[in-house]
Amino acid sequence: MSDAWAALADRIAVHARDYIDGLTRLAGGEGGDAILPLLLVEVAQVSSAGAQLGACQDVILSGNWEPHLSEDPDVDGVRTTLAERLGPVDDYAEVFDPYKDTSVTPYRLSDDLTAVAADLIHGLRHYQAGRPLEALWWWQYSYFNTWGNHAGAALRALQALVAHTRLDVAEERTTV
């Protein structure tokens, strides 16, 4: 494995860990009323890692197969607590693929955020097992296949929510 691939794997692993840690902490109640802007930051940062994966050449595994891992940890508890914390803003509408499927699809932020986490965890398990190339392959594949779309949709929804909380306020009176 080249030094460039190893360095990229190290960077993506840091982003993955940070995202999972941040998401878990926010689901657990940290951040208080600032959950939406904090989630926006978490998703934006991990999306930057995804963009790096999208910009590099395809990661190809030797033999073109992924080594078997045991079952991934369940993230449903995080999803459930996020859904509870997000309440009425958990549900939103999204266009799944603006080029192939322009119908509006119902989404949930809690589902999107934990789908990203699940894919990142799977790659981290390869990384922690000393297989950084397999981790990169998984992160890149799943970025194009699932978590990139979920992160992008969540990013748009969170940005809209944060914008609404800042812009949809009664006009303030100024005193001179």
User: How does pLDDT run across 137-147, given as a tens digit for each residue?
Assistant: 999 999 999 99
* DSSP sequence for 7-50: HHHHHHHHHHHHHHHHHHHHHTTTTGGGHHHHHHHHHHHHHHHH
Place of tokens 């395809």: 58
Q: How large is the average pLDDT for residues 89-106?
A: 86
Alpha-carbon separation of residue 137 from 35, 119, 132, 133, 144 (angstroms): 31, 12, 9, 6, 11
% pLDDT > 90, the chain:
72
Per-residue model confidence (pLDDT) at position 67: 63
Q: What is the pTM of this model?
A: 0.88
- Which domains are present in the chain? 3-167 (1.20.120)
User: How does pLDDT run across 74-86, given as a tens digit for each residue?
Assistant: 899 999 999 999 9
- Higher-confidence residue: 93 or 67? 93
Residue 109 and residue 90 in contact, taking contact as beta carbons nearer than 8 Å: yes
CA proximity to 105, closest of 115, 113, 95: 95
